[in-house]
Amino acid sequence: MARWKVLQMTFHLFIPSFYTYPIPMKYTLLIALCILSRIAFAQPDQIQKKLEGYWLQEGYGIYLEIRDSVYKFYDITNISCQQSASPVLNNWIGSLKSLLDLYDVKKISSKEMILKYGITSYKFKRLKTPLGICQKPIKFSNDPILNFDVLWHTFKENYAYARLRKVDWDKLYKKYRPLISKKTTKLQLYTYFRDILDAIKDAHISLQVPKDLEIAYAKSTASLSNKGKRKRYKYNYPTARYLAQQQVTKMFPQSTFRHFHKDLLMWGKLNQRVGYIQINAMNGFSLDVSIPDSLSTAQYWDRHWGQIVTSLKRGKTIGQYFRDEIRGANVMIDSIVRELSSTSAIILDVRFNNGGTDKVALDILSRFVQQKTAVFSKHVWDKNNFLFEQVIAIQPAPKTYQGKIAILTSRQTASSAETLVLSSLALPNVLRIGSPTMGVFSDVLQKQLPNGWRFGLSNEIYRSNTRQNFESQGIPPKSLIKYPTNVMDFFEAIYSQGKSDLAIQKALDLFSK
């Protein structure tokens, strides 16, 4: 099913791409409790009869049972079945009504079912009888061998980019499996997992463990990481990111820039001819929050997600929340485009955008599309097979911008922000300026080990409208600016330009030709 694309597993909801504004763990747990308290709704008999049964999802390692208006999701591999970490409402069991509040049933028959959320459809095969391995699911186990085997099988069966990223799962199994026994400690097991996963160098792979284990790991590896000289930066990450985002205001001190949700959006006119829109995430757009901009960025977003949790506790559904997100994005981009409609060109700056949800990305881009356009395709990978390919198209918004467009990118442009850039390849006369994007496109497939550790991986393949796959390499710009790959070096390269910005100046030069 769908997931948000997240760099780190922050908001464990069953939705679509990568994150910018993290949802604190305390709120993640509260959201789960909100949902657990509301699982007893009923559906009309005709819907229940069609949906009830046993379903195997194509390409996601998920088994679904629907009985008596209640769904149950299980994560499965060839050797395991356990209560799922990846279903729609962050809970493996819930009401059919809560499921259908978020997903549309696009097809239902005696053989298959297709559910859709956002831009993506998910295919399920109907089984005649319950899946045997899930009759006695694993509930909890600290067994190091079992946890290693579940992790290995999940990646072996679902990770889409082993060949591209030169990962030999059988070789890794032979190397690490003999090292693990019943006596292997949690720290040792976590270290082995980190050794395996970190080497893949895929920002959509994540592994989340208890904080005390993270601290112990950091201490155990400190001597190794300190062997080389580490660069010391003048500013910490939040400050450096903020300064880089504000570089445009130094270049155009006479311009008035407006903001939405602190630093989520910034826009204004650079001159009478050129507008500028900085989009720093593809999530966090809900209009149902009210927080003073005087707070620090960290305080602002902590309170933002706190208000979202409060609304869920008071009865708002997850489906309603995501519809609010989409509505907020559409309201804001419409307002901004109207404000900049007198210009002849707009710069879309997604250099600092780590992603969010593809639906938001495509809705934003729809304001710059003049006709229905097939922009990319995506399909799932399952045990060496490519399944259920979907062609994604953008419909133009009711009111669209008619001028020229330039999109600014960097190696920090990731996930659903890359979906926007990928889609722009199908549009005529869009300038792309900067560095190649990060090269991580898939929605994150969220899973959980028997010991409770959560992890994420990529199981989907995105291709451009010309069938190109830009995973790992990123989407190349038309006009290259060699930004540093390291995020702190990149921020420093931006805010150290004095009163200039190479990418923005390049766009202005190209617009003037």
Range scoring the smallest mean pLDDT among 24-28, 153-157, 319-323: 24-28
Number of H helices, E strands in the chain: 15, 21
CA-to-CA distance for 75 and 67, rounded, in angstroms? 18
What domains does the chain contain, in order, with CATH numbers? 25-134 (no CATH), 237-370+398-439+473-511 (3.90.226.10)
The band of 403, judged by pLDDT with boundaries at 50, 70 and 90, is: very high
**SS3 letters for 84-123?**
CCCCCCCCCEEEHHHHHHHCEEEEECCCEEEEEECCEEEE
Structural tokens at position 53: 């049964």
% of the chain at pLDDT higher than 90: 76
Examine the pLDDT at 379 and tell me if it is beyond 70. Answer: yes
The band of 224, judged by pLDDT with boundaries at 50, 70 and 90, is: low
Q: What is the pLDDT of residue 218?
A: 92
Extract the runs of DSSP E, i.e. beta strands, from 22-77.
53-57, 62-67, 70-76
Q: How many CB atoms lie within 10 A of CB 253?
A: 7
Instruction: Write out pLDDT tens, residues 428-448.
Output: 989 999 999 999 999 999 999
Instruction: Write out pLDDT tens, residues 38-70.
Output: 333 334 567 778 999 999 999 999 999 999 989
pTM for the whole thing?
Answer: 0.90
Q: What is the pLDDT of residue 191?
A: 97
Q: What is the pLDDT of residue 227?
A: 55
Residue that the structure tokens 């053989």 belong to: 111
Q: How many CB atoms lie within 10 A of CB 174?
A: 10
Angle at 471 between CA 465 and CA 474, to 5 degrees: 85
The band of 30, judged by pLDDT with boundaries at 50, 70 and 90, is: very low
Examine the pLDDT at 3 and tell me if it is beyond 80. Answer: no
Instruction: Write out pLDDT tens, residues 235-294.
Output: 999 999 999 999 999 999 999 999 999 999 999 999 999 999 999 999 999 998 989 989
Q: How many CB atoms lie within 10 A of CB 332?
A: 20
Task: Measure the CA dihedral 244/419/486/491, to 10°.
Answer: 0
The band of 7, judged by pLDDT with boundaries at 50, 70 and 90, is: very low
Q: Which residues of 466-485 are buried (b: 16+ CB within 10 A; e: fewer)?
A: eeeebbeebbebebebebee
The band of 377, judged by pLDDT with boundaries at 50, 70 and 90, is: very high
Strands 430-434 and 479-480: parallel
Strands 430-434 and 404-409: parallel
CA-to-CA distance for 90 and 87, rounded, in angstroms? 6
Dmax (CA) of the chain: 69
Q: What is the pLDDT of residue 41?
A: 38
Residues in CB range of 89: below 8 A, 6 or more apart: 13, 14, 35, 98, 99, 102, 318
Tell me the Cα Rg of the chain. 23
Q: What is the pLDDT of residue 262?
A: 93
Instruction: Write out pLDDT tens, residues 79-128.
Output: 999 999 765 555 788 888 888 888 899 999 999 999 998 999 999 999 99
Residue that the structure tokens 């069953």 belong to: 14
Examine the pLDDT at 28 and tell me if it is beyond 50. Answer: no
pLDDT mean over 64-78: 94
Q: What is the pLDDT of residue 102?
A: 85
Q: What is the pLDDT of residue 424?
A: 98
Q: Which residues of 366-385 are buried (b: 16+ CB within 10 A; e: fewer)?
A: bbbbeeebebbebbbbbeee
The neighbouring-strand residues paired with 114 are 107, 123
Position with higher pLDDT, 440 vs 224: 440
pLDDT mean over 346-372: 97
How deeply is 449 buried, as exposed, middle or buried, from its count of CB atoms within 10 A (0-12, 13-18, 19+)? buried
